[in-house]
Amino acid sequence: MESRERVIRALRFQRPDRAPRDLWLLPGVTLFRQEQVRAVQARFPSDFTGPDATYGRGERAQGTPNLRGRWVDEWGCVWEAAEDGVIGEVKGPPLADWSALDTYRLPHEVLRNADLSRVDDFCRRTDRFVLAGTLIRPFERMQFLRGSQNLYLDLGCAPRELYRLRDMLHEFALQELELWCATAVDGISFMDDWGSMRGLLISPQTWREFFKPLYAEYCRVIHRAGKFAFFHSDGHIAAIIPDLIEIGVDALNSQLFCMDIEAIAARFCGQITFWGELDRQHILPFGSPQDVRQAVRRVRRALDTGEGGVIAQFEWGNDTPMENVIAAYEAWEEPREAIGA
């Protein structure tokens, strides 16, 4: 079975021959462990690929991301990284004072100067599932622009500027989606990290009133173009999984090990595809290969019914040994009957 068909069958619950593979690499792994990455990818090739495309350069962008020091992104946010190979944190939000909103410009040049001219040919030449990543992350983008503390206060006080900024970002996101919807990519992803270790970072009611309508429109646009909607969120997000299913998210990447995996499976298995993952806080970086195998088996017993609806995804972090990455994929290759699934 070719990779694209395998992924689509998983998304449609049409019995793929196995769970599709998808490996995420943190910047430090990409920068400093390229030989290990090549070895793993040769043995366990991914069923996913990203499109051959580039965004325009932001006029405010300065410095080099993912290296120690300070850099500025296309939105004008000042980031600081304490070591090489990490993304860092925003230390200079450009809209910390709402008075700056009147003159603030979104980085439309990154969309205006984007080059997607090679995408369709790339999609035709690969048998892998082509998933386009986007800049769409409204909650996190608002944090980067306002500062997290400011934004949480905004969500409680609801000043008119908050709604204005949200709508500006939403319009930008829809323009970005239209670019990708006009191409031959198979799926489009967007994201926001919504969970702490115990629950949502804001009340479910506020989430449903303020953010859910945005996500619903993203899914409608993606589906109208005949593509699959992929969504990522870290943390304990069990409270909004029914909402994500309702609005049409096809594949959800979440930190299953922050939640009750078996309870999640009992409620939602067969309604949405679980796009990974494994515990990257404890087991992957600090566990033994056997610990990793047991973690994969737990996920598979809960979610890998053989009908689809699960993707063998996890993140290779800077502290994760290569042996644990190999152990994870070896466990995903075990026959279902051998693990009690």
Q: Round to whole Å and give the CA distance between 320 and 29.
A: 9
In a domain, 89, yes or no: no
Q: Round to whole Å and give the CA distance between 95 and 128.
A: 41
User: What range does the domain containing 318 cover?
Assistant: 3-57+95-338
In a domain, 82, yes or no: no
In a domain, 90, yes or no: no
CA proximity to 215, closest of 187, 246, 237, 180: 246
Rg of the Cα trace of the chain? 20
Measure the CA dihedral 205/210/211/213, to 10°.
100
The pLDDT confidence band at residue 336, using thresholds 50, 70 and 90, is: confident
* Region 151-162 average pLDDT: 97
CA proximity to 274, closest of 241, 233, 303: 303
Residue 39's pLDDT is what? 97
In a domain, 267, yes or no: yes
The pLDDT confidence band at residue 69, using thresholds 50, 70 and 90, is: very high
In a domain, 77, yes or no: no
Whether the per-residue pLDDT at 13 is higher than 90: the answer is yes
| The pair of three-digit structure tokens given for residue 151, joined into one six-digit string | 């934004």
Residue 146's pLDDT is what? 98
Report the percent of the chain where pLDDT is more than 70: 100
* pTM of the complete model: 0.97
In a domain, 327, yes or no: yes
Residue 120's pLDDT is what? 98
Q: What is the pLDDT of residues 165-189, one digit of tens each?
A: 999 999 999 999 999 999 999 999 9
In a domain, 11, yes or no: yes
* Region 50-79 average pLDDT: 97
Mean pLDDT of all residues belonging to the chain: 97
Q: What is the pLDDT of residues 257-287, one digit of tens each?
A: 999 999 999 999 999 999 999 999 999 999 9
CA proximity to 231, closest of 208, 209, 247, 210: 247
Residue 340's pLDDT is what? 75
- 146: domain CATH number is 3.20.20.210
The angle, 0 to 180 degrees and rounded to 10, between the axes of the packed helices 212-224 and 160-181 is 10
Whether the per-residue pLDDT at 338 is higher than 90: the answer is no
In a domain, 228, yes or no: yes
Residue 326's pLDDT is what? 98
Number of domains into which the chain is organized: 1
Q: What is the pLDDT of residues 311-328, one digit of tens each?
A: 999 999 999 999 999 999
Q: Round to whole Å and give the CA distance between 41 and 129.
A: 16
